[in-house]
Amino acid sequence: MEFKDFSLFDPTPEHKALRAMVCEFAQKELEPQALEYDQKEQFNQKLFQRLGNLGLLGLMLEENLGGSKMDATAMIAVHEELSFSDPGFCLTYLAHSVLCVYNIYRNANEEQKKLWLPALCSGDTLGAMAMSEPNCGTDVLAMESTAVRNKDHYILNGRKMWITNGCLNDNKTPCDFVLVYVKIQNQISSFVVEKSFPGFFVGQKIKDKLGMRASNTAELVFDNCIIPKTHLLGREGEALKHMMKNLEVERLALAAMSLGIAKRCFKEMNKYSLQRKSFNKSLRSFGQIQKYLAQSYAEYQSLRSYIYNLARQIKEDGSENYRLDCDAVKLLAGKLAKDIADRAIQVLGGYGYVGEYKVERLWRDSKLLEIGGGTNEALEKNITKDLEKWV
């Protein structure tokens, strides 16, 4: 069975071709390695570089910068299809292409874009974004990392925690570029830090994560790290608005990841319930299983429509505010992905409890989507505040 597509999901021939290409890549190259890299707790760097060859790392950037000049609908289609096979790998992709590349694209000057983006879009370099700290996550205004101007450079001090793509597989080498948020005189600013800068190193790789194990997570340390003034994005003190705007795109992409997990888990339990016999009947002939299938299908299709309709509205210049719905769709998506994954395990029984049958890994991966990029509790606070305008 295949889900029927409408113009909302693939509005142009280019979108349809993009989805077909990503599906083929996921099936032939991503799917066979997913369990192995989850067990090794490493990201597949060689396969990640293939995304650059496919034009996926700068999906919404101009072609002269190495991009593919597509839109938010294309972006979420890629996240949905990659997460269908390997959400951990997709998280690496999101941190690079959305949190780092797209952030630089939106907020850097023309010289900075030409200097950094082509290599990031080709896959020759790996990027990350560093916001959370050991003592602050959701409360970004409480961050303690600071930068001080000293003639033609800045001196950065602080620690960043839970950084996706923060280190390579040797656990010691940081990624090539990290977009870092810090305070300058109590106002948030952002810098692009290169791995060669003195005073910048990996504190530790975060191991034994519940899920998303195919994506490296690290603590990054800045100890009197010297950063040229040319690596400041925008002006001092204006990065908070950059951060908030990029969070909208990030939350939409994370919702698309949840969508991919939900679709895969539904397909696995639907297929298994047809093949499995119990008491001389197909498993799907029992009312309890029918409830799981029907509920999951309805939730998946509802979520899919919400996500793609929202993506269709987003203007490429970032001129409008979509926080309410980006928060709401991520809040809904994270819960539904976990619920559908949980039902899939229940339908598969003992088989669902082991890695070979995939839904166990997807269930573990789904939990991060209720935490990373904005916790459920933070989203509920934001949504409630924004809904005051509706009264």
Each residue's pLDDT tens digit, 24-74: 999 999 999 999 999 999 999 999 999 999 999 999 999 999 999 999 999
Q: At 250, which amino acid appears? A: E
Each residue's pLDDT tens digit, 235-292: 999 999 999 999 999 999 999 999 999 999 999 999 999 998 889 888 999 999 999 9
| CA 81 vs CA 18, 78, 210, 342, 391: distances in Å | 10, 5, 22, 20, 38
Among 17, 20, 230, 16, smallest CA distance to 109 is for 230
Strand ranges (E), 29-143: 127-130
Domain segments of the chain: what residues? 13-126, 128-231, 243-390
Q: For residues 310-314, give the mean pLDDT.
A: 93
What's the CATH number for 128-231? 2.40.110.10
For residue 307, give every residue at least 6 positions away whose Cβ sits within 8 Å of its Cβ, in sequence order, or none: 76, 252, 255, 256, 259, 329, 333
Assign residue 123 a region (left: φ > 0; alpha: ψ between -120 and 50; beta: otherwise): left
Give the CA angle between residues 330, 333, 339 to the nearest 5°.
145
Domain 13-126 in CATH: superfamily? Acyl-CoA dehydrogenase/oxidase, N-terminal domain (1.10.540.10)
pLDDT for position 1: 46
The topology (CATH level 3) of 243-390 is: Butyryl-CoA Dehydrogenase, subunit A; domain 3 (1.20.140)
Q: What gap in Å lies between CA 295 and CA 280, rounded to an integer?
A: 25
Q: How many residues does the chain have?
A: 391
In the chain, % of residues over pLDDT 70: 98
For residue 137, is pLDDT > 90?
Answer: no
Among 80, 14, 32, smallest CA distance to 255 is for 80
The residues carrying an active-site annotation are 250
pLDDT for position 391: 80
Assign residue 232 a region (left: φ > 0; alpha: ψ between -120 and 50; beta: otherwise): beta
For residue 14, is pLDDT > 80?
Answer: yes
Do the domains at 13-126 and 128-231 have one common CATH topology?
no
Each residue's pLDDT tens digit, 154-176: 999 999 999 999 999 999 999 99
Q: Which two tokens stand for residue 341?
A: 């994954």
- The pLDDT mean for the chain works out to 95
pLDDT for position 7: 82
pTM: 0.95
Q: What gap in Å lies between CA 204 and CA 201, rounded to an integer?
A: 9
Each residue's pLDDT tens digit, 126-135: 999 999 999 9
Q: What gap in Å lies between CA 41 and CA 33, rounded to an integer?
A: 12
In the chain, % of residues over pLDDT 90: 92
